[in-house]
Amino acid sequence: MPTSASVSEAGTSFFVSGAGGTSNLHHIQLMKVLDIDVELSDRSRKGLILCYTKYKAFNAAVQTMDQMSKQGKWPLAKKPSHTELVEVFLSKSYWYTHVAKPFAIVACYPQMVAWLEHEDGNSPSDFEVWHLQKSEYGFKELKEWLANDGTLDKAAKRRMELSKDKGKGKGKKGKEKEKEREDYQEEKMQVDDDGKGKASSSNVKKTHKRK
């Protein structure tokens, strides 16, 4: 049965579910000061997308903490180290072996970032990012994806790139043909105008002779 912990600070009660978050009182204080979502303190949850959310929340919390400290507004007795802050989200061993390094590299791949942020209607499909359809993706797949420079299937990625290049080529040819057609129309109009001009001149000469 779920249990809950309650901490009172400055007259405010802060509840954390034992099933959905930490019961560490120091961590609870840090989450309150740094406005960290309680659910992100559940260290048993280690899905790829959730860990990326934790990674982003950690970086935001570090910035907030450093800014408050510089301004002399840090409310607790001691400012925690980054490692202490990491442990609000995950064990430090898991963080440094699985999370920190790959997600730092992922920042160079906008499409993967969009997939991890998983915003409704704006995230690319699994196949567009991974090039291999799977029921789920974890850190094992991410490590392989990074090792292959952004793919789980090099052949599929190459086919997609060739398809895009071919599409661009068709677009370019289409524009070239359109330009040729426009140039032809301009030349034809010029010829027509010149022809009319000559005819008009000829008529003037004939009229002059009759006179």
Query: For 137-145, what is the mean pLDDT?
Result: 97
Query: For 145-159, what is the mean pLDDT?
Result: 96
Percent of the chain scored above 90 by pLDDT?
62
Query: For 170-190, what is the mean pLDDT?
Result: 58
Average pLDDT of the residues of the chain: 80
pLDDT tens-place string over residues 104-136: 999 999 999 999 998 777 789 999 999 999 999
pLDDT band at 183 (very low <50, low <70, confident <90, very high): low
Sketch the domain layout of the chain as residue ranges. Answer: 45-156, 157-211
Determine the Cα–Cα distance for residues 60 and 3; give it in Å rounded to an integer: 29
pTM as predicted: 0.69
Query: Is the separation of the CB atoms in 55 and 103 below 8 Å?
Result: yes
Write the DSSP symbol of residue 3.
-
